[in-house]
Amino acid sequence: MYFKRFVFPIVLIVTGWNTGLWAQATNQEWPAYGGDPGGMRHAASSQINTSNVNQLKVAWTFNTGELELYKGTNAAEKAAFEATPIMVDGTLYFSTPSGRVFALDAYSGTRKWEFDPKVNLKSDFSEVTSRGVSTWPGPDLPKNAGPRRIFAVTIDGRLICLDAATGKPVKEFGKNGTINLREGIGDISVTSPPAIIGNTLITGSSMGDNQRLDYEKGVVRAYDVMTGKLLWSWDPIPRDPSDAAHVTWQGEKAMLTGAANAWSILSTDPERNLVFIPTTSPSPDYYGGERKGQNLYANSVVALNASTGKVVWHYQVVHHDLWDYDIAAQPALITVQRDGRDVPAVAVGTKMGHIFVLHRETGEPLFPVEERPVPQSSIPGEQASPTQPFPVLPKPVGPRQVTVDDAWGLTEEDRERARKRIAALKNEGPFTPPSFEGTMVAPSNAGGIHWGGVSYDPNTNLLVTNINRLVAVIRLVPRERIEEEDGKPGSMRAETGWQNGTPYVLKRDYLIDFESKTISMQTQPPWGTLLAIDMNSGELKWEVPLGFMYDPREYPDAIHWGSLNFGGALTTSGGLTFVAGTHDNFFRAFETKTGKLLWQDQLPAGGQATPMSYVLNGKQFVVIAAGGHGKLGTKLGDAVVAYALP
């Protein structure tokens, strides 16, 4: 039912596709996480459309039994069912937060097989999630290229190859079907499915990045899909002095830095033999005094040659990151119009609310980007970048500068607390660095555009994305004063990032009032929106509040306030955008051209996942994982829900 109270734990951790011919097929598959290798997240079927979506009903529900595995562990606090299934050969494949892989009959939802990698959930994982699996042969190869394989990755750092028909490990791959990705690297996790291009599999990794300077290397690795042989590896931190980017890392300890890893979804362009890597912040992510300089190739989209792993081009969206501004979203390979010509592009959505549209072959911006002066750091030892890149178009989305005029609360008492808190904090606009007194970071490390990413409708040239409008509060504390700091009221509520190897400890909080009778946001709504941008003009077409966080029966205006959200949107040729992700557990359909809400249905648990769609035996299905999100505080569950017309 509706939520009267907003429960938000403090630790918020964050084309080559012929759609015309595909739409005519009786069966339409969803063979990759984003639908196609380039992650457009668009379903070509128009069977479910704006005129009949209000008739949509649950076709089947499958329960994984995942919650039983959490008993006796703290996994539920960190678990998030973020998977987007794939569908090939009439079978739906997906993974659960613990890494179990299921194969279902895609028409009836009945179980075909299950594989359990037996991850030890009593281990101390920073998050318990898996966003999906991958399959070979991919859509760039004929289906008779060989017996189908399913590739799964785990939070304890394994890459597993399964026979698609039986769910049994393929013994010829790696060591009895498994490669230990931690070997030679260290304590990494993998939370996103690998990319597959031709006979090559490419995977990144996930790791914490605010606990110490010398984190594991964020290497991206490629393997032969048949044998598991390592083909190449690429480190986003250029440790070789012959690399031109090496000089952008300055300081005696600069090469001790780790991370800059790619934990999100990779995209591939088989026609151009390119793989697009979204990289993250170097470690630690809120203090860069040990890694002065621009820090290429961190916080960049990097196009690699898929055969060799060599850099073809790169584009950095944040210089010298001090805000945990990872590129969390999958780069979307789209086509835009320029001077009457089709131009291959890659759209990169960022946590800052910036959307960079780059030429897919060169990395050159297709809309103007300006290097603008930004606030400088007051922290001894830090050297913030003097400028940052700002796209002129599309215009930035999400909150920018926060003042006392933005204070909000459910009561006047709440609003006064919000005004006092905001007045005591620092915000000089985008990219205000962390400070001793406390800096408001807007958008926060949860976005702006988060890992849910963007969807692109080629019929309307609209890019659709859902965003968060949450403000973080960041403070750096001299290490020798941390005991004194932890004795202050409210300090222990904030997340602590030890940033060992540096002089400062991180304290991260959010503008949320826990003293209010009903836990209250402290900045103006909406706190989550859905929006569409014309990719030919760069103009915002519409933006609407997404979901709600307070019970509308008690707070009627709550339907206009929006909700924090995780999980992305799906567009379809039926003129629809499907999205869940919100705190109210509703699954919704909007008209893509206008943003008008046309349909909604409450899921059995939180829908913090990106939906997908396919056609099987002439019937279109829309499917979403509904298992909740421990850190967001939504209802936990274990359901995969399929919708169809009666």
128, 328, 444 from 13: Cα distances, Å: 11, 11, 10
DSSP characters over 169-231: B-TTTTBTTEEETTTTT-S-B--SPPEEETTEEEE--B---SSBSSPPB--EEEEETTT--EE
Is the bond preceding residue 133 a cis peptide, omega within 30 degrees?
no
**Distance, CA of 149 to CA of 129 (rounded, Å):** 22
Sorted by sequence, the CB contacts under 8 Å of residue 178 that are 6+ apart come out as: 158, 159, 160, 161, 169
Q: Rounded to 5 degrees, what are φ and ψ at 523?
A: -125, 160
AA identity, residue 310: K
Q: Residue 538 region, left (φ>0) first, then alpha (ψ -120 to 50), else beta?
A: left
In what order do the strands lie in the sheet containing 472-478? 439-441, 472-478, 504-510, 495-497
- The candidate with the shortest Cα–Cα distance to 181, out of 150, 215, 158, 203, is 158
Does residue 205 contact residue 219 with C-beta atoms inside 8 Å? yes
User: Does the bond joining 380 to the residue before it have cis omega, within 30 degrees of 0?
Assistant: no
Q: Cβ distance 627 to 639 under 8 Å?
A: yes
* 556: DSSP letter: G
Look at residue 482 and give its three-state secondary structure: helix
Sign of the CA dihedral running 538, 321, 126, 426: negative
Cα–Cα dist 581/565, whole Å: 5
Q: Which residues are catalytic?
A: 324
Q: How many residues does the chain have?
A: 646
Residues 98/299/579/570 CA torsion (nearest 10 deg): -100
Tokens 């013994």 sit on residue: 171
Q: Which amino acid is at 72?
A: G
Separation of alpha carbons 584 and 601, rounded Å: 11
Which residues contact residue 21 at a Cβ distance below 8 angstroms, ignoring those fewer than 6 apart?
A: none
Contact 446, 14 (CB under 8 A): yes
The torsion angle over the Cα atoms of residues 89, 95, 100 and 102, rounded to 10 degrees, is: -30
What is the number of alpha carbons within 13 Å of residue 615 lying toward its C-beta?
Answer: 19
Contact predicate 270/226, CB 8 Å: no
Distance, in Å, from the CA atom of 627 to the CA atom of 63, rounded to the nearest integer, reads: 9
The SS3 assignment for 446 reads coil
Residue 352 structure tokens: 């800052």
Q: Convert 488-502 to b/e letters by CB count within 10 Å (16 or more is b).
A: eeebeebbbbebebb
What would the two tokens of residue 287 be?
């203090």
Measured in degrees and rounded to the nearest 5, phi and psi for residue 22 equal -60, -40
